[in-house]
Amino acid sequence: MPNELNVVSNEDIKNLIYTIRGKQVMLDSDVAILYNCETKYVNRVVKRNIERFPKEFCFQLTEKEYEFLRCQFVTLKNGRGQHRKYMPYAFTEYGITMLASLLTSRIAINVSIKIINTFIEMRNFISSNGNVFERLAYMEYKLLEQDKKFDILFDELQKNKKIEQKIFFEGQIWDSYSLIIDIIKSAKEKILIIDNYIDDSVLKMLSKKGKNVEVVLLTSNKTNISKLDIQKFNKQYPVLKMSTSNKFHDRFIIIDNKESYHCGASIKDLGKKCFGINKIEDECIIEKMINI
């Protein structure tokens, strides 16, 4: 008869040992393969001798624990135990020893010796490198803490973001559109849009404004926004007014008579060519523009 001790190596056994609930364990299906028997036979032996398998020797995994293992290890995810009817049992080294004594086959006894030796080897390795693992765990904890702080900071920046200057290149249609929407949503009382080439696309953007925020469109007589468009818009999103003027060349958006943005392109042409949006900080300029 061939020497069963050569069938499996210590390295193979190490790959079958997992850490669950702070204990090093092997799953029933892996034990069955090493013992050259079926998983249901291993579990039947355990159930018949359940008093010999306290929780320090053997325990059944929860669905969450098993799913975590399946996500972490490819062999579980794409092969072993993929269609199990019941959650697997996990055996500690004590459970392996007890199981071997009950199975009594030569293979079970010989393989159990290798399994126990592997458990001891791994435990000694962890013990002798405990400081290293503690430091790694501490570093991982600190990284998680830093990630949480970064997420909080990023969320706050998103909530309180201020648009100072932004350049958009050809094709950045959505990015530029999103920024204009953010500006429109920031208004609490009034929005003044100055754009000689405005069209009804701006009405779709203005539908995102806050309730009861007044809108004034200052444009040229070449606009294709009709009085009917304005009437229908006002029935759902009041209040919108439109006037014509030939005093402006560039495009501006003024929010609540306090913040002003200079737009290098017409709102209807966002993202078609490279352009910039800049915030005007000088309150005196804003006042002059409003009173032109």
Q: What are the domain boundaries of the chain? A: 4-129, 165-290
End-to-end, the C-alpha distance of the chain in Å comes to: 104
Q: What pLDDT is attached to residue 240?
A: 94
d(CA 72, CA 117): 25
Q: State residue 247's pLDDT score.
A: 86
pLDDT value at position 228? 92
Positions of the chain with pLDDT under 50:
1-6, 77-79, 160
DSSP 145-189: HHHHHHHHHHHHHHHT----EEEE-TT-HHHHHHHHHHHHHT-SS
pLDDT at 263: 92
Looking at residue 204, its pLDDT comes to: 92
Alpha-helix residue ranges (DSSP H) falling in 160-262: 173-185, 201-206, 227-236
Which residue is associated with the tokens 């609490």? 188
CATH classification of 165-290 is 3.30.870.10, yes or no?
Answer: yes
For residue 66, the SS3 value is helix
